[in-house]
């Protein structure tokens, strides 16, 4: 992914369209349900684009991004990042065309999920719960729901069917339809104004191993027809949200099978959620707790070198764990966690690559984790499409060597003021050294962890 100024300029023009009508009730859904997840800048961008659209139904007039910057009182970088968040959460599609170096965009607004879809989504509702807490989540749920029709109180459905009220005309009265064939057919270049159903956020690029799951489920216990498309979508979301592999998912599916040989989706969600909270001390997941997907893991065997050991570490822990380890017993700051989450969303880097990024930034920036510095490196790595830990480590090593060579002439006559500590994988791979850990004493555990990190940060000789 390129820097914002490579993707968009103030003079670039855009028009807004909509994938169907947007209703006034959508404003409340966007404000109360989506805004806590995407932030006020994204909410303002969506509302402003929508306001431009309302004047001309399904298409707006052409405008420049400079106007958008003035309307929102935001710089182009913030607008670009807000656009990416809207795309990621399923509220916007972006199309671009370039002619003779001039770019034009189409921003297609997608309707938000309705309240029922949102609260039963299985991902967005969990993130919202973690964001605003139990009390306010319950309040919003009450706000977007009401009592059902009291059918149990003796009311009977006496609604008439169409054929009970209307009759069809005689054939001789319908002869004029023969002359209207062209008018009755729809034009391929036109579409009727209406409302298209929203399917929610997409997990493109994330794959769950359904073959492994089905191989572990006997046909006589769980019929294949029970795992339909809807169930598969729920399984994929749960696996992504709670980091559940195919082996673990098998147990949850067995528990969610009802007497009709159907999988109770709500029971499946509850089982996965209860398991995750039990494993994580009653906490619900956040994005920063993800680990490297199985498809992008490479260290399958027991590590034999220091580099392989570090690769295994980066592939099996979450970015939050890396931040905690670098704090040596302490907790990372809220601002550091927010920086990592924003990079994961905006740059779409995988957790293993993020782990290398955290480590690399800490090492070359005197253990400081500043937002601008992290975003600059992250956008560079995203443009290089780094997917695996090995790719990220190799690229970091090359970048550091190039930077050192470039600055060699400038620093040759200067007295060095400090020594940078670098991991062994920046140079030649070192053999793994045996570690001795002390068990039972928390202070000793911290000291052992500290020694382990210090060993990884050990300076190397050129």
Q: Which residues contact residue 29 at a Cβ distance below 8 angstroms, ignoring those fewer than 6 apart?
A: 112, 113, 114, 115, 118, 144
pLDDT at 393 over 70: yes
Q: Which pLDDT belongs to residue 453?
A: 53
Q: Which pLDDT belongs to residue 72?
A: 93
- The C-alpha atoms of residue 234 and residue 212 are separated, in whole angstroms, by 17
Q: Which pLDDT belongs to residue 434?
A: 37
Q: How confident is the model over 302-320, as a mean pLDDT?
A: 83
Q: Which pLDDT belongs to residue 417?
A: 55
Half-sphere exposure of 37 (CA within 13 A, CB side): 26
| Two tokens, residue 369 | 């984790």
Alpha-carbon separation of residue 365 from 101, 297, 371, 418, 422 (angstroms) = 38, 27, 12, 12, 11
Q: Among 12, 178, 30, which Cα is nearest to 91's?
A: 30
If you ran DSSP here, which 8-state letter would residue 305 be given?
B
pLDDT at 201 over 70: no
Q: Which pLDDT belongs to residue 320?
A: 81
pLDDT digits (tens, 9 = 90+) for 326-376: 876 677 777 787 788 777 766 778 888 989 999 888 888 878 888 888 888
pLDDT at 436 over 60: no
Type and span of the H or E element at 63: strand 63-64
DSSP states along 82-107: HHHHHHHTTSEEEEEEEETTEEEEEE
Cα-based torsion angle of the residue sequence 319, 38, 202, 227 in order, rounded to the nearest 10 degrees: 80
- The C-alpha atoms of residue 198 and residue 179 are separated, in whole angstroms, by 38
Q: How confident is the model over 377-387, as a mean pLDDT?
A: 88
The residue that leads in pLDDT, 62 or 453, is 62
Q: Average pLDDT, whole number, for the chain?
A: 76
Q: Among 154, 2, 13, which Cα is nearest to 77's?
A: 2
Query: Which residues lie across from 20 on neighbouring strands?
Result: 195
Please write down the HEC assignment for all residues of 335-376.
Answer: HHHHHHHHHHHHCCCCHHHHHHHHHHHHHHCCCCCCHHHHHH
The residue that leads in pLDDT, 386 or 414, is 386
Place of tokens 């500290």: 450
pLDDT digits (tens, 9 = 90+) for 13-53: 999 998 877 888 899 999 999 999 999 999 999 999 998 88
pLDDT digits (tens, 9 = 90+) for 60-113: 889 999 999 999 999 999 999 999 999 988 899 999 998 887 899 999 999 999
| Two tokens, residue 27 | 């404003």
pLDDT digits (tens, 9 = 90+) for 249-288: 888 888 888 888 888 888 888 888 777 766 665 565 565 6
pLDDT at 427 over 60: no
Q: Which pLDDT belongs to residue 68?
A: 92
Could you give the percent of the chain with pLDDT greater than 90?
Answer: 16
Query: Beta-carbon neighbour count of residue 262 at 10 Å?
Result: 14
Helix (H), strand (E) counts: the chain: 22, 4
- The answer, as to whether pTM is greater than 0.85, is no
Q: Quick check: helix, strand or coil at residue 432?
A: coil
- The C-alpha atoms of residue 151 and residue 50 are separated, in whole angstroms, by 39
Q: How confident is the model over 214-240, as a mean pLDDT?
A: 80
Q: Which residues contact residue 204 at a Cβ distance below 8 angstroms, ignoring those fewer than 6 apart?
A: none
């Amino acid at each position: 992914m390129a820097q914002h100024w490579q993707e968009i300029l103030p003079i670039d023009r855009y028009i807004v369209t909509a994938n169907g009508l947007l209703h006034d009730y959508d404003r409340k859904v966007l404000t109360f349900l989506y805004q806590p997840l995407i932030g006020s800048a994204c909410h303002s961008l969506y509302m402003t684009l929508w306001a431009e659209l309302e004047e001309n139904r399904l298409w707006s007039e052409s405008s420049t991004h400079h106007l958008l910057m003035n309307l929102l009182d935001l710089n182009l970088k913030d607008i670009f990042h807000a656009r990416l968040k809207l795309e990621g959460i399923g509220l916007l599609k972006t199309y671009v065309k370039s002619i003779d170096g001039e770019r034009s965009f189409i921003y297609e607004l997608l309707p938000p999920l309705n309240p029922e879809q949102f609260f039963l989504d299985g991902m967005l509702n969990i993130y919202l719960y973690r964001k605003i807490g139990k009390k306010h989540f319950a309040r919003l749920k009450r706000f977007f729901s009401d009592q059902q029709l009291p059918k149990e109180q003796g009311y009977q459905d006496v609604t008439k069917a169409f054929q009970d009220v209307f009759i069809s005309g005689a054939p001789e009265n319908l002869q004029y339809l023969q002359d209207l064939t062209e008018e009755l057919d729809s034009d391929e270049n036109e579409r009727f104004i209406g409302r298209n159903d929203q399917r929610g956020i997409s997990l493109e690029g994330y794959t769950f191993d359904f073959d492994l799951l089905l191989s572990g489920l006997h046909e006589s216990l769980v019929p294949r027809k029970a795992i339909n498309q809807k169930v598969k979508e729920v399984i994929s979301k749960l696996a992504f949200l709670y980091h559940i592999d195919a082996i673990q998912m098998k147990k949850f599916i067995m528990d969610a099978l009802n007497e009709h040989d159907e999988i109770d989706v709500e029971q499946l969600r509850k089982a996965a959620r209860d398991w995750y909270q039990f494993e994580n001390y009653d906490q619900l997941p956040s994005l920063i707790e993800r680990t490297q997907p199985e498809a992008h893991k490479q260290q399958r065997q027991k590590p034999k070198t220091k580099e392989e050991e570090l690769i295994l570490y980066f592939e099996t822990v979450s970015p939050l764990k890396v931040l905690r380890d670098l704090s040596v017993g302490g907790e990372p700051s809220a601002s550091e966690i927010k920086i990592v989450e924003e990079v994961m969303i905006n740059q779409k880097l995988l957790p293993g690559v993020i782990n290398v990024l955290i480590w690399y930034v800490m090492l070359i920036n005197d253990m400081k984790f500043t937002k601008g510095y992290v975003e600059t490196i992250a956008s560079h790595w995203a443009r290089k499409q780094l997917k695996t830990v090995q790719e990220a480590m190799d690229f970091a090593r090359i970048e550091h060597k190039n930077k050192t060579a470039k600055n060699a002439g400038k620093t040759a006559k200067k007295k060095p003021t400090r020594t940078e500590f670098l991991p062994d994988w920046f140079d030649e791979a070192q053999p793994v050294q045996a570690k001795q850990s002390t068990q039972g004493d928390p202070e000793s555990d911290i000291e052992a962890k500290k020694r382990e990190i210090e060993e990884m940060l050990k300076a190397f000789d050129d």
